[in-house]
Amino acid sequence: MKIERIEEARLTPTDEAEIAALLRRCFVTDFGDRSYFVQRHHVRIVARDAGAIVGQMGLGLRAIRMGERLVDIVGLGDVCTAPERRGEGIASRLMEAAIAEARAMPAEFFVLFGDRPLYAGAGFEAHRNVLRFVDMEGARTNGLEHRRQGGLMVLPLGDAVWDGAAEVDLLGWLF
């Protein structure tokens, strides 16, 4: 198995189709034949075996507001492993590569929304900040949300400390 880093703008039509098919198999949510749920990522971390994509993670670099402070983060989204390949360590290898990629980006934190043991095992910690974000479903803007969102997990990429009491404005959608 090979782990690859692919810039979003360099995804081939074949890769896009394979990722879209993989997402359809991994999620009950309708991705509408897209290789992403809400918005495109900046980088994909992809696992290939015998040429086929068997897992992937999308990473996006963005600024958010934590209280009054602007903070650069990497957001993780659209995480999936082919159902028949789960339990083989693919997600762990993807996560290792994703963390290395996030550390190479100009960001203070790696952020995701989820609750899998994989994330805590990789060093992510759960937080309960009040969030402001654009609610998007089916690639449509539905409004502005201002609430606690379950599953917020954060991994510091350096010495910065996440402020668990601050309101966090994602300046966009959940990833």
DSSP secondary structure of 102-169: HHHSS-SEEEEE---HHHHHTT-EE---EEEEEEEETTEEEEEEEEE-TTEEEEESSS----TTS-EE
Determine the Cα–Cα distance for residues 160 and 51; give it in Å rounded to an integer.
39
For residue 1, give the DSSP letter.
-
Task: Give whole-number Cα distances, 94 to 53, 65, 110, in Å.
Answer: 12, 28, 14
Q: What is the pLDDT of residues 35-50, one digit of tens each?
A: 998 899 999 999 999 9
Q: What is the pLDDT of residues 100-120, one digit of tens each?
A: 999 999 999 999 999 888 899
pLDDT attached to residue 87: 94
| Arithmetic mean of pLDDT over the chain | 94
pLDDT attached to residue 165: 96
Residue type, 144: L
The parent domain of residue 7 ranges over 2-173
What's the whole-model pTM score? Answer: 0.94
- Total count of domains within the chain: 1
CATH number at residue 107: 3.40.630.30
pLDDT attached to residue 89: 95
